[in-house]
Structure 1
Amino acid sequence: MSSTAESLRTAVVPRQRRDLTGFDFVAVDVETWNGRTGSVCAVGLAVVRGGVVVDEYEALCHPAAELGEADYRRMSANRLQLGDIYHAQPFAELFETVSAFVGDLPVVAHHAAADAAHLAQACEVAGVDAPAWEWHCTEAIARKALDLTSWALPDVSTALALPRFPLHQSGAEARATAAVLLGLAERTGAVRLAHLPR
Protein backbone atom coordinates (compact mmCIF):
# COMPACT_ATOMS: atom_id res chain seq x y z
CA MET A 1 0.00 0.00 0.00
CA SER A 2 1.35 3.42 -0.91
CA SER A 3 1.98 6.06 1.71
CA THR A 4 -0.68 8.20 0.05
CA ALA A 5 -3.33 5.50 0.38
CA GLU A 6 -2.31 4.87 3.99
CA SER A 7 -2.63 8.54 4.87
CA LEU A 8 -6.09 8.68 3.30
CA ARG A 9 -7.23 5.62 5.21
CA THR A 10 -6.13 6.95 8.58
CA ALA A 11 -6.95 10.63 8.10
CA VAL A 12 -9.38 12.12 10.64
CA VAL A 13 -12.31 13.74 8.86
CA PRO A 14 -13.27 17.03 10.57
CA ARG A 15 -16.75 17.05 12.08
CA GLN A 16 -19.01 19.18 9.94
CA ARG A 17 -22.21 20.93 11.00
CA ARG A 18 -25.18 18.83 9.96
CA ASP A 19 -27.47 20.30 7.34
CA LEU A 20 -30.52 21.65 9.19
CA THR A 21 -32.21 23.26 6.20
CA GLY A 22 -35.11 20.79 6.53
CA PHE A 23 -36.25 22.38 9.80
CA ASP A 24 -39.13 24.86 9.56
CA PHE A 25 -41.11 25.37 12.79
CA VAL A 26 -42.19 27.86 15.45
CA ALA A 27 -40.91 27.48 19.00
CA VAL A 28 -43.48 28.62 21.58
CA ASP A 29 -43.28 29.45 25.27
CA VAL A 30 -46.28 30.38 27.41
CA GLU A 31 -46.17 32.03 30.83
CA THR A 32 -49.14 32.13 33.22
CA TRP A 33 -50.01 34.46 36.07
CA ASN A 34 -51.44 31.83 38.41
CA GLY A 35 -51.61 28.05 38.66
CA ARG A 36 -54.84 27.69 36.66
CA THR A 37 -54.73 26.19 33.20
CA GLY A 38 -55.30 28.91 30.63
CA SER A 39 -54.21 31.91 32.70
CA VAL A 40 -51.85 32.97 29.91
CA CYS A 41 -50.16 36.32 30.49
CA ALA A 42 -47.20 36.14 28.08
CA VAL A 43 -46.34 34.30 24.87
CA GLY A 44 -42.99 34.13 23.13
CA LEU A 45 -42.30 32.80 19.63
CA ALA A 46 -39.18 32.01 17.63
CA VAL A 47 -39.85 31.33 13.96
CA VAL A 48 -37.32 28.94 12.38
CA ARG A 49 -36.91 28.44 8.65
CA GLY A 50 -34.21 26.29 7.17
CA GLY A 51 -32.72 25.72 10.63
CA VAL A 52 -32.29 29.47 11.31
CA VAL A 53 -34.34 31.79 13.55
CA VAL A 54 -35.77 34.33 11.11
CA ASP A 55 -38.37 36.11 13.26
CA GLU A 56 -39.37 36.53 16.89
CA TYR A 57 -42.40 37.76 18.79
CA GLU A 58 -43.04 38.34 22.48
CA ALA A 59 -46.07 40.00 24.06
CA LEU A 60 -48.08 40.26 27.25
CA CYS A 61 -51.82 39.81 27.58
CA HIS A 62 -54.41 40.16 30.33
CA PRO A 63 -56.01 36.82 31.29
CA ALA A 64 -59.79 36.69 31.43
CA ALA A 65 -61.39 37.37 34.81
CA GLU A 66 -62.80 33.81 34.85
CA LEU A 67 -59.24 32.49 35.18
CA GLY A 68 -58.66 34.07 38.58
CA GLU A 69 -56.36 36.69 40.02
CA ALA A 70 -52.59 36.89 39.80
CA ASP A 71 -50.34 34.77 41.99
CA TYR A 72 -47.76 37.30 43.16
CA ARG A 73 -45.05 34.68 43.73
CA ARG A 74 -45.50 33.38 40.18
CA MET A 75 -45.49 36.92 38.82
CA SER A 76 -42.25 37.62 40.67
CA ALA A 77 -40.65 34.43 39.35
CA ASN A 78 -41.70 35.44 35.84
CA ARG A 79 -40.30 38.95 36.41
CA LEU A 80 -43.61 40.44 35.34
CA GLN A 81 -45.17 43.62 36.70
CA LEU A 82 -48.86 43.40 37.59
CA GLY A 83 -49.54 46.83 36.10
CA ASP A 84 -48.05 45.78 32.77
CA ILE A 85 -50.40 42.78 32.63
CA TYR A 86 -53.50 44.77 33.62
CA HIS A 87 -52.84 47.24 30.81
CA ALA A 88 -51.90 44.60 28.22
CA GLN A 89 -54.07 43.47 25.33
CA PRO A 90 -56.72 40.76 25.90
CA PHE A 91 -55.73 37.18 25.04
CA ALA A 92 -57.94 37.04 21.91
CA GLU A 93 -56.02 39.96 20.38
CA LEU A 94 -52.65 38.45 21.20
CA PHE A 95 -53.68 35.05 19.87
CA GLU A 96 -54.70 36.52 16.53
CA THR A 97 -51.12 37.75 16.11
CA VAL A 98 -49.65 34.47 17.37
CA SER A 99 -51.74 32.50 14.88
CA ALA A 100 -50.51 34.71 12.04
CA PHE A 101 -46.90 34.02 13.02
CA VAL A 102 -47.45 30.26 13.24
CA GLY A 103 -49.48 29.87 10.06
CA ASP A 104 -49.25 26.23 8.97
CA LEU A 105 -45.84 25.56 10.53
CA PRO A 106 -45.31 22.83 13.16
CA VAL A 107 -45.09 24.10 16.73
CA VAL A 108 -42.35 23.11 19.17
CA ALA A 109 -42.41 23.62 22.95
CA HIS A 110 -40.63 22.22 25.99
CA HIS A 111 -43.23 20.14 27.85
CA ALA A 112 -45.57 20.85 24.95
CA ALA A 113 -48.62 19.27 26.58
CA ALA A 114 -48.71 22.04 29.18
CA ASP A 115 -48.34 24.88 26.67
CA ALA A 116 -50.97 23.31 24.41
CA ALA A 117 -53.40 22.94 27.33
CA HIS A 118 -52.88 26.55 28.46
CA LEU A 119 -53.52 27.90 24.97
CA ALA A 120 -56.55 25.66 24.37
CA GLN A 121 -58.18 26.71 27.66
CA ALA A 122 -57.38 30.38 27.12
CA CYS A 123 -58.96 30.13 23.67
CA GLU A 124 -62.08 28.47 25.07
CA VAL A 125 -62.55 31.14 27.73
CA ALA A 126 -61.91 33.90 25.17
CA GLY A 127 -64.39 32.37 22.73
CA VAL A 128 -61.90 31.82 19.92
CA ASP A 129 -61.13 28.62 18.04
CA ALA A 130 -58.33 26.57 19.59
CA PRO A 131 -55.42 25.95 17.23
CA ALA A 132 -55.14 22.65 15.37
CA TRP A 133 -51.36 22.81 15.44
CA GLU A 134 -48.90 19.95 14.94
CA TRP A 135 -47.09 19.91 18.29
CA HIS A 136 -43.58 18.57 18.99
CA CYS A 137 -42.04 18.39 22.47
CA THR A 138 -38.34 19.01 23.06
CA GLU A 139 -38.59 17.43 26.51
CA ALA A 140 -39.91 14.17 25.04
CA ILE A 141 -37.27 14.20 22.30
CA ALA A 142 -34.51 14.87 24.84
CA ARG A 143 -35.66 11.95 27.00
CA LYS A 144 -35.09 9.64 24.02
CA ALA A 145 -31.87 11.26 22.81
CA LEU A 146 -29.95 12.21 25.97
CA ASP A 147 -28.95 10.43 29.18
CA LEU A 148 -29.79 13.01 31.85
CA THR A 149 -31.21 13.10 35.37
CA SER A 150 -33.21 16.31 34.79
CA TRP A 151 -35.20 17.17 31.68
CA ALA A 152 -35.84 20.83 32.52
CA LEU A 153 -35.13 23.19 29.64
CA PRO A 154 -31.99 24.74 31.24
CA ASP A 155 -30.51 21.28 31.90
CA VAL A 156 -31.18 20.02 28.38
CA SER A 157 -29.74 23.25 27.00
CA THR A 158 -26.60 22.85 29.12
CA ALA A 159 -26.21 19.21 28.03
CA LEU A 160 -26.18 20.41 24.43
CA ALA A 161 -23.56 23.07 25.24
CA LEU A 162 -25.93 25.92 24.38
CA PRO A 163 -25.75 29.43 25.88
CA ARG A 164 -27.54 30.19 29.14
CA PHE A 165 -30.79 32.16 28.98
CA PRO A 166 -33.13 34.00 31.39
CA LEU A 167 -35.74 31.72 32.95
CA HIS A 168 -39.50 32.39 32.87
CA GLN A 169 -39.24 34.97 30.10
CA SER A 170 -41.34 33.86 27.18
CA GLY A 171 -39.19 35.28 24.40
CA ALA A 172 -35.94 33.94 25.86
CA GLU A 173 -37.42 30.51 26.52
CA ALA A 174 -38.88 30.30 23.01
CA ARG A 175 -35.44 31.07 21.54
CA ALA A 176 -33.85 28.50 23.87
CA THR A 177 -36.43 25.89 22.85
CA ALA A 178 -35.64 26.52 19.18
CA ALA A 179 -31.91 26.13 19.90
CA VAL A 180 -32.52 22.90 21.84
CA LEU A 181 -34.58 21.41 19.02
CA LEU A 182 -31.82 22.18 16.50
CA GLY A 183 -29.19 20.86 18.94
CA LEU A 184 -31.12 17.62 19.34
CA ALA A 185 -31.34 17.34 15.54
CA GLU A 186 -27.57 17.62 15.29
CA ARG A 187 -27.06 15.15 18.14
CA THR A 188 -29.38 12.53 16.63
CA GLY A 189 -28.53 13.10 12.97
CA ALA A 190 -32.14 13.96 12.05
CA VAL A 191 -32.58 15.98 8.87
CA ARG A 192 -36.33 16.59 9.27
CA LEU A 193 -38.49 17.42 12.28
CA ALA A 194 -40.46 14.23 11.79
CA HIS A 195 -37.25 12.15 11.98
CA LEU A 196 -36.58 13.11 15.62
CA PRO A 197 -37.45 10.50 18.29
CA ARG A 198 -40.81 11.14 19.95
Structure 2
Amino acid sequence: MDFVALDFETANSSRGSVCSIGLVEYEKGKLKREYYRLVKPKQNYFASINVSIHGITKEDVADAPEFDVLWEREIRELLEGKFLVAHNAQFDMSVLRAVLDQYNLPYPMLAYNCSVNISKKTWTLPRYKLNVVSDYLGIELEHHHALDDARASAQILLKAAEELQANNVKELVEKTNTMNGMMFDTSYEPAKLNNKRRAKKQSESYVAATSEVDTTHLFYQSHIVFTGKLEAMKREEAVQRIVDRGGKLQRNVEASTNYLIVGNATFRDYMNGKRNSQIERTEMLLAEGHAIEIISESDFLKHL
Protein backbone atom coordinates (compact mmCIF):
# COMPACT_ATOMS: atom_id res chain seq x y z
CA MET A 1 0.00 0.00 0.00
CA ASP A 2 1.61 3.23 -1.20
CA PHE A 3 -0.17 6.43 -0.17
CA VAL A 4 0.00 9.72 1.74
CA ALA A 5 -2.62 10.63 4.37
CA LEU A 6 -3.31 14.36 4.65
CA ASP A 7 -5.04 16.69 7.11
CA PHE A 8 -5.36 20.48 7.36
CA GLU A 9 -6.52 22.78 10.15
CA THR A 10 -7.70 26.30 9.26
CA ALA A 11 -7.63 29.56 11.19
CA ASN A 12 -11.10 30.72 10.20
CA SER A 13 -13.99 29.95 7.85
CA SER A 14 -11.86 30.69 4.77
CA ARG A 15 -10.65 27.46 3.18
CA GLY A 16 -7.33 29.11 2.34
CA SER A 17 -6.51 29.99 5.96
CA VAL A 18 -4.26 26.99 6.59
CA CYS A 19 -2.67 27.11 10.05
CA SER A 20 -1.32 23.55 10.26
CA ILE A 21 -0.73 20.55 8.02
CA GLY A 22 -0.09 16.91 8.82
CA LEU A 23 1.14 14.24 6.37
CA VAL A 24 1.81 10.54 6.88
CA GLU A 25 3.39 8.54 4.05
CA TYR A 26 3.26 4.75 3.72
CA GLU A 27 5.30 2.74 1.23
CA LYS A 28 4.56 -0.96 0.70
CA GLY A 29 2.36 -0.84 3.78
CA LYS A 30 5.15 0.45 6.04
CA LEU A 31 5.41 3.91 7.59
CA LYS A 32 7.97 5.93 5.61
CA ARG A 33 7.71 9.44 7.07
CA GLU A 34 5.60 11.83 9.08
CA TYR A 35 5.42 15.58 8.48
CA TYR A 36 3.86 18.32 10.61
CA ARG A 37 4.14 22.10 10.31
CA LEU A 38 2.43 25.15 11.72
CA VAL A 39 1.57 27.64 8.97
CA LYS A 40 1.00 31.40 9.15
CA PRO A 41 -2.16 32.25 7.15
CA LYS A 42 -1.80 34.99 4.54
CA GLN A 43 -4.64 36.89 6.20
CA ASN A 44 -3.53 36.14 9.76
CA TYR A 45 -6.94 36.13 11.47
CA PHE A 46 -7.99 33.37 13.87
CA ALA A 47 -11.68 32.91 14.59
CA SER A 48 -12.49 31.94 18.17
CA ILE A 49 -14.54 28.91 17.08
CA ASN A 50 -11.61 27.51 15.10
CA VAL A 51 -9.22 28.10 18.01
CA SER A 52 -11.64 26.28 20.33
CA ILE A 53 -11.52 23.26 17.99
CA HIS A 54 -7.79 22.86 17.30
CA GLY A 55 -6.19 25.12 19.95
CA ILE A 56 -3.84 26.91 17.54
CA THR A 57 -3.60 30.69 18.02
CA LYS A 58 -2.18 33.64 16.13
CA GLU A 59 0.70 33.73 18.61
CA ASP A 60 1.54 30.07 17.91
CA VAL A 61 2.17 30.78 14.22
CA ALA A 62 3.90 34.16 14.65
CA ASP A 63 7.25 32.77 13.52
CA ALA A 64 5.89 30.10 11.16
CA PRO A 65 6.38 30.38 7.38
CA GLU A 66 3.44 31.01 5.05
CA PHE A 67 2.13 28.15 2.94
CA ASP A 68 3.79 29.20 -0.34
CA VAL A 69 7.25 28.97 1.27
CA LEU A 70 6.56 25.53 2.73
CA TRP A 71 4.99 24.39 -0.54
CA GLU A 72 8.09 25.14 -2.58
CA ARG A 73 10.58 23.94 0.02
CA GLU A 74 8.92 20.84 1.43
CA ILE A 75 5.29 19.99 0.73
CA ARG A 76 5.04 19.80 -3.05
CA GLU A 77 7.58 17.00 -3.40
CA LEU A 78 5.71 15.04 -0.71
CA LEU A 79 2.43 15.21 -2.67
CA GLU A 80 3.24 15.45 -6.38
CA GLY A 81 2.34 12.26 -8.22
CA LYS A 82 1.24 10.48 -5.04
CA PHE A 83 -2.04 8.83 -4.03
CA LEU A 84 -3.63 10.78 -1.17
CA VAL A 85 -6.27 9.88 1.37
CA ALA A 86 -8.07 12.19 3.79
CA HIS A 87 -11.05 11.78 6.09
CA ASN A 88 -13.73 13.93 4.48
CA ALA A 89 -11.42 14.55 1.52
CA GLN A 90 -13.89 17.06 0.08
CA PHE A 91 -12.83 19.49 2.83
CA ASP A 92 -9.09 18.88 2.83
CA MET A 93 -8.75 18.94 -0.95
CA SER A 94 -10.82 22.14 -1.14
CA VAL A 95 -8.41 23.64 1.42
CA LEU A 96 -5.45 22.62 -0.72
CA ARG A 97 -7.00 24.13 -3.85
CA ALA A 98 -7.95 27.34 -2.01
CA VAL A 99 -4.52 27.97 -0.53
CA LEU A 100 -2.80 27.21 -3.86
CA ASP A 101 -5.18 29.61 -5.61
CA GLN A 102 -4.43 32.23 -2.97
CA TYR A 103 -0.75 32.21 -3.90
CA ASN A 104 -1.36 31.65 -7.64
CA LEU A 105 0.39 28.28 -7.47
CA PRO A 106 -0.45 25.50 -9.99
CA TYR A 107 -2.17 22.38 -8.72
CA PRO A 108 -0.03 19.25 -8.36
CA MET A 109 -0.93 16.16 -10.35
CA LEU A 110 -2.27 13.57 -7.93
CA ALA A 111 -5.10 11.14 -7.22
CA TYR A 112 -6.97 10.91 -3.94
CA ASN A 113 -9.77 9.13 -2.14
CA CYS A 114 -11.81 9.66 1.01
CA SER A 115 -11.54 7.42 4.07
CA VAL A 116 -15.15 8.35 4.93
CA ASN A 117 -16.33 6.78 1.67
CA ILE A 118 -14.06 3.77 2.14
CA SER A 119 -15.34 3.33 5.72
CA LYS A 120 -18.96 3.41 4.54
CA LYS A 121 -18.22 0.61 2.08
CA THR A 122 -16.34 -1.48 4.66
CA TRP A 123 -18.16 -1.24 8.00
CA THR A 124 -21.72 -0.56 9.18
CA LEU A 125 -21.56 2.25 11.75
CA PRO A 126 -24.06 4.82 13.06
CA ARG A 127 -21.80 7.66 11.87
CA TYR A 128 -18.52 7.96 10.03
CA LYS A 129 -16.80 10.92 11.69
CA LEU A 130 -13.09 10.39 12.24
CA ASN A 131 -13.42 9.96 16.01
CA VAL A 132 -16.29 7.47 15.62
CA VAL A 133 -14.48 5.27 13.08
CA SER A 134 -11.24 5.52 15.06
CA ASP A 135 -12.99 4.47 18.27
CA TYR A 136 -14.62 1.50 16.50
CA LEU A 137 -11.26 0.35 15.11
CA GLY A 138 -9.31 0.98 18.33
CA ILE A 139 -7.21 3.79 16.83
CA GLU A 140 -5.84 6.30 19.35
CA LEU A 141 -6.71 9.83 18.29
CA GLU A 142 -5.97 13.37 19.47
CA HIS A 143 -8.76 14.78 17.31
CA HIS A 144 -8.15 18.01 15.36
CA HIS A 145 -4.38 17.78 15.58
CA ALA A 146 -3.42 17.64 11.89
CA LEU A 147 -0.75 14.97 12.27
CA ASP A 148 -2.87 12.75 14.51
CA ASP A 149 -5.86 13.07 12.17
CA ALA A 150 -3.63 12.11 9.23
CA ARG A 151 -2.34 9.11 11.19
CA ALA A 152 -5.90 7.99 11.91
CA SER A 153 -6.95 8.34 8.27
CA ALA A 154 -3.95 6.24 7.24
CA GLN A 155 -4.83 3.53 9.77
CA ILE A 156 -8.42 3.45 8.54
CA LEU A 157 -7.20 2.87 4.98
CA LEU A 158 -4.88 0.06 6.10
CA LYS A 159 -7.55 -1.61 8.23
CA ALA A 160 -10.07 -1.41 5.38
CA ALA A 161 -7.54 -3.06 3.07
CA GLU A 162 -7.02 -5.80 5.66
CA GLU A 163 -10.77 -6.27 6.12
CA LEU A 164 -11.40 -6.54 2.37
CA GLN A 165 -8.18 -8.45 1.63
CA ALA A 166 -6.95 -5.77 -0.78
CA ASN A 167 -3.23 -5.95 -1.57
CA ASN A 168 -2.89 -2.41 -2.85
CA VAL A 169 -4.73 0.88 -3.26
CA LYS A 170 -6.09 -0.06 -6.69
CA GLU A 171 -7.70 -3.23 -5.31
CA LEU A 172 -9.13 -1.35 -2.34
CA VAL A 173 -10.74 1.27 -4.58
CA GLU A 174 -12.24 -1.47 -6.76
CA LYS A 175 -13.53 -3.53 -3.83
CA THR A 176 -15.13 -0.50 -2.14
CA ASN A 177 -16.66 0.64 -5.44
CA THR A 178 -15.41 4.17 -4.83
CA MET A 179 -14.04 6.56 -7.41
CA ASN A 180 -10.78 8.43 -6.97
CA GLY A 181 -10.69 12.19 -7.22
CA MET A 182 -7.93 13.91 -9.15
CA MET A 183 -6.05 17.18 -9.23
CA PHE A 184 -4.21 18.27 -12.35
CA ASP A 185 -3.00 21.55 -13.83
CA THR A 186 -5.66 24.11 -12.80
CA SER A 187 -8.55 21.67 -12.45
CA TYR A 188 -9.78 18.78 -10.34
CA GLU A 189 -12.40 16.05 -10.05
CA PRO A 190 -13.93 15.04 -6.69
CA ALA A 191 -13.71 11.61 -5.09
CA LYS A 192 -17.05 9.79 -5.26
CA LEU A 193 -18.76 6.99 -3.39
CA ASN A 194 -20.01 5.07 -6.44
CA ASN A 195 -17.97 4.24 -9.52
CA LYS A 196 -20.38 4.99 -12.36
CA ARG A 197 -19.42 4.00 -15.88
CA ARG A 198 -20.28 6.32 -18.74
CA ALA A 199 -19.21 4.21 -21.69
CA LYS A 200 -22.62 2.70 -22.45
CA LYS A 201 -24.38 6.05 -22.34
CA GLN A 202 -21.84 7.69 -24.62
CA SER A 203 -21.87 4.87 -27.20
CA GLU A 204 -25.57 4.13 -27.38
CA SER A 205 -26.25 6.64 -30.19
CA TYR A 206 -23.78 4.80 -32.47
CA VAL A 207 -24.77 1.49 -34.07
CA ALA A 208 -22.30 -0.87 -35.73
CA ALA A 209 -22.64 -0.99 -39.52
CA THR A 210 -22.50 -4.79 -39.46
CA SER A 211 -23.15 -7.58 -36.99
CA GLU A 212 -20.04 -9.41 -38.22
CA VAL A 213 -17.38 -7.93 -35.96
CA ASP A 214 -13.75 -9.04 -36.01
CA THR A 215 -13.26 -10.26 -32.43
CA THR A 216 -9.48 -10.28 -32.92
CA HIS A 217 -9.28 -6.56 -33.71
CA LEU A 218 -7.27 -4.39 -31.34
CA PHE A 219 -10.27 -2.19 -30.54
CA TYR A 220 -12.80 -5.00 -29.99
CA GLN A 221 -14.49 -4.52 -26.60
CA SER A 222 -11.99 -1.74 -25.79
CA HIS A 223 -12.96 1.50 -24.03
CA ILE A 224 -11.62 4.45 -26.00
CA VAL A 225 -11.30 8.19 -25.44
CA PHE A 226 -10.45 10.79 -28.10
CA THR A 227 -8.64 14.03 -27.36
CA GLY A 228 -7.43 16.80 -29.66
CA LYS A 229 -8.68 17.65 -33.15
CA LEU A 230 -8.36 14.87 -35.71
CA GLU A 231 -6.85 15.76 -39.08
CA ALA A 232 -7.93 12.79 -41.22
CA MET A 233 -11.65 12.67 -40.34
CA LYS A 234 -14.34 14.16 -38.16
CA ARG A 235 -14.65 12.93 -34.59
CA GLU A 236 -18.07 11.39 -35.32
CA GLU A 237 -16.63 9.28 -38.15
CA ALA A 238 -13.76 8.12 -35.94
CA VAL A 239 -16.19 7.08 -33.22
CA GLN A 240 -18.27 5.18 -35.77
CA ARG A 241 -15.15 3.34 -36.93
CA ILE A 242 -14.50 2.32 -33.32
CA VAL A 243 -18.07 1.10 -32.81
CA ASP A 244 -17.92 -0.84 -36.10
CA ARG A 245 -14.98 -2.75 -34.63
CA GLY A 246 -16.77 -3.52 -31.38
CA GLY A 247 -15.19 -0.73 -29.35
CA LYS A 248 -16.90 1.61 -26.87
CA LEU A 249 -16.59 5.37 -26.54
CA GLN A 250 -15.89 7.14 -23.26
CA ARG A 251 -16.03 10.91 -22.84
CA ASN A 252 -13.28 11.10 -20.21
CA VAL A 253 -10.34 8.92 -19.27
CA GLU A 254 -11.26 6.51 -16.46
CA ALA A 255 -9.71 3.48 -14.82
CA SER A 256 -11.58 1.29 -17.33
CA THR A 257 -10.14 3.14 -20.38
CA ASN A 258 -7.93 1.05 -22.67
CA TYR A 259 -6.82 3.59 -25.29
CA LEU A 260 -6.46 7.37 -25.43
CA ILE A 261 -6.34 8.41 -29.11
CA VAL A 262 -4.66 11.78 -29.56
CA GLY A 263 -5.03 14.07 -32.59
CA ASN A 264 -1.72 14.56 -34.40
CA ALA A 265 -1.23 18.23 -33.41
CA THR A 266 -1.99 17.49 -29.76
CA PHE A 267 0.26 14.42 -29.91
CA ARG A 268 3.15 16.56 -31.21
CA ASP A 269 2.61 18.93 -28.28
CA TYR A 270 2.65 15.92 -25.98
CA MET A 271 5.96 14.77 -27.40
CA ASN A 272 7.31 18.26 -26.67
CA GLY A 273 6.21 18.11 -23.05
CA LYS A 274 2.82 19.85 -23.27
CA ARG A 275 -0.07 17.84 -21.82
CA ASN A 276 -3.78 18.52 -21.85
CA SER A 277 -6.08 17.36 -19.03
CA GLN A 278 -6.93 14.00 -20.65
CA ILE A 279 -3.26 13.11 -21.07
CA GLU A 280 -2.50 14.20 -17.51
CA ARG A 281 -5.36 12.02 -16.22
CA THR A 282 -3.99 9.11 -18.25
CA GLU A 283 -0.49 9.51 -16.86
CA MET A 284 -1.85 9.63 -13.32
CA LEU A 285 -3.84 6.43 -13.86
CA LEU A 286 -0.79 4.80 -15.43
CA ALA A 287 1.16 5.69 -12.29
CA GLU A 288 -1.54 3.91 -10.26
CA GLY A 289 -1.04 0.76 -12.32
CA HIS A 290 -3.92 0.99 -14.81
CA ALA A 291 -3.22 -0.26 -18.35
CA ILE A 292 -4.00 2.62 -20.73
CA GLU A 293 -2.18 3.13 -24.03
CA ILE A 294 -1.71 6.57 -25.58
CA ILE A 295 -2.01 6.32 -29.39
CA SER A 296 -1.39 9.05 -31.96
CA GLU A 297 -3.95 9.70 -34.69
CA SER A 298 -1.48 8.32 -37.24
CA ASP A 299 -1.15 5.03 -35.40
CA PHE A 300 -4.93 4.93 -34.89
CA LEU A 301 -5.40 5.06 -38.67
CA LYS A 302 -2.89 2.24 -39.12
CA HIS A 303 -4.79 0.09 -36.63
CA LEU A 304 -8.04 0.79 -38.46
TM-score (norm 2): 0.55
Query: Number of aligned pairs?
Result: 173
Counterpart contact for 1:120–1:131, Cα < 8 Å: no
Aligned residue in 1 for 2:70: 94
Aligned residue in 1 for 2:12: 34
Alpha-carbon distance in structure 2 between the residues aligned to 1:127 and 1:61: 17
Deviates more, 1:24-33 or 1:99-108: 99-108
1:143 aligned partner, one-letter code: K
1:113 lines up with 2:90 in the alignment: yes
1:165 aligned partner, one-letter code: L
1:119 aligned partner, one-letter code: L
Alpha-carbon distance in structure 2 between the residues aligned to 1:180 and 1:144: 12
Aligned residue in 2 for 1:180: 156
Aligned residue in 2 for 1:138: 115
Counterpart contact for 1:75–1:82, Cα < 8 Å: no
| Pairwise CA distance, 1:132 | 2.5
Alpha-carbon distance in structure 1 between the residues aligned to 2:80 and 2:15: 24
Aligned residue in 1 for 2:130: 153
| Pairwise CA distance, 1:168 | 0.7
Q: Secondary structure, in 3 states, of the residue corresponding to 1:145?
A: coil
Q: Give the superposed CA RMSD.
A: 1.4
Name stretches of at least 5 consecutive residues in structure 2 with no aligned partner. Answer: 179-304
Aligned residue in 2 for 1:122: 99
1:82 lines up with 2:42 in the alignment: no
Q: Which has the higher contact order (CA 8 A, sep 6+)?
A: 1
Aligned residue in 2 for 1:15: none
| Pairwise CA distance, 1:37 | 1.7
The structure with the larger Rg is 2
Name stretches of at least 5 consecutive residues in structure 1 with no aligned partner. Answer: 1-22
1:49 lines up with 2:31 in the alignment: no
Cα deviations by residue, 1:50-83 (Å, 9 ceiling, x for unpaired)? 1111100000111122xx7211221132021321
Specify which structure has the higher proportion of helix: 1
| Pairwise CA distance, 1:34 | 0.7
Aligned residue in 1 for 2:81: 104
Alpha-carbon distance in structure 2 between the residues aligned to 1:161 and 1:183: 11
Counterpart contact for 2:45–2:58, Cα < 8 Å: no
Counterpart contact for 2:80–2:108, Cα < 8 Å: no
Cα deviations by residue, 1:107-150 (Å, 9 ceiling, x for unpaired)? 11111111111110100011211222201110011111110111
Q: Which runs of 4+ in 1 moved over 6 A?
A: none
Aligned residue in 1 for 2:188: none
| Pairwise CA distance, 1:33 | 0.7
Identity %: 29
TM-score (norm 1): 0.83
Aligned residue in 2 for 1:64: 42
